[in-house]
Amino acid sequence: MKLAIEDVYKSFDPPTASHRRFVLRGVTLQAAQGEFISLLGHSGCGKSTLLNLIAGYIRPDRGQILIDGMRVDGPGADRGVVFQEYALFPWYTVHENIAFGPRVRGVPAGAAREMTQRYIALVGLTGFEHVYPDALSGGMKQRVGIARALANEPIVLLMDEPFGALDALTREAMRQELLRIWLQVRPTVVFVTHSIAEAVALSDRIAVMSLRGTLEGIMPVELPRPRDPHTPQFLGHVKTLEQMLTLNGTSSHARDPVAYRGE
């Protein structure tokens, strides 16, 4: 397994509450080499928390996360992260933004330049090397974000609602772009979304998260890509996921108040 999440618990210290509230309660999930996994769930169910744990930005209270069998205990170049809000350096050009990672890792200048050009071409930004992020559209900024993450040649690519800030048409185009890039480079991907259609369009498997901090279930999507969202098979997956999400929706607090409050 490239990525193993083993019985992970995570809570944050609430300022006033007397109960310890676990955002994640015993999450276990694995990803194989080159697999595309989505984390799907309602806002506030802990998707970003789980992604930040994998990224090593925060630590679990219990359990562990392994990348290639090595325990995560902080951020590292083996994980590339793409955020919704791009997080590009505004004072660096496209080329400089993408070259930053390889340079920090100590890749010699010539090789870093060659790598950077390769990833710029991969994401379709040839000709924009010397442009600053401010002058780019949202979709192009996110291409830079993807190239920058891939330039570290990570084992796992982590994406937190990367297309959430884009308009519908750009978003659809970027999904296709991401699939093309993923098929070419084939990193293991953990992709956070609250869009059912996005998860079905992209994923090998979808991990449905519940508001109780557990995994509601894992759904494999064995449809050939590119996937036509109008086929009965696609719509069947959407319907099943809708039902899984409704079952663990806001009403779950009332259904299971003790579990929700946590230990």
Alpha-carbon distance of 39 to 216, in angstroms, equals: 11
CB of 45 to ligand ADP, least distance (A): 4
Please say which residue, 40 or 140, places its beta carbon nearer to ligand ADP: 40
> Does the footprint of Mg ion cover residue 38 (CB under 5 A)?
no
Cα separation, 198 vs 115, whole angstroms = 30
Interface region with ligand ADP, contact rule CB under 6 A, candidates 45-53, 89-97, 113-121, 145-153: 45-53
Q: Tell whether residue 48 is a contact of ligand ADP (CB under 6 A).
A: yes
Residue 46 touching ligand ADP (CB under 6 A): yes
# chain residues binding Mg ion, by CB under 5 A: 2
Nearest to 43 by CA among 253, 206, 195: 195
48 touching Mg ion, by CB under 5 A = yes
Describe the crossing of helices 109-122 and 94-104 by its angle, rounded to 10 degrees: 130
Site for ligand ADP in 12-41 (CB under 6 A): 12, 23, 41
The dihedrals phi and psi of 29, each to the nearest 5 degrees, come to -165, 140
Helix, strand, coil percent values for the chain (each to nearest 5)? 40, 20, 40
Residue 43 found at the interface with ligand ADP (CB under 6 A): yes
Q: Which stretch binds ligand ADP (CB under 6 A): 43-51, 132-140, 165-173, 243-251?
A: 43-51
Q: Distance (Å, rounded) from C-alpha 156 to C-alpha 163? A: 18
Q: Which residues bind Mg ion (CB under 5 A)?
A: 47-48
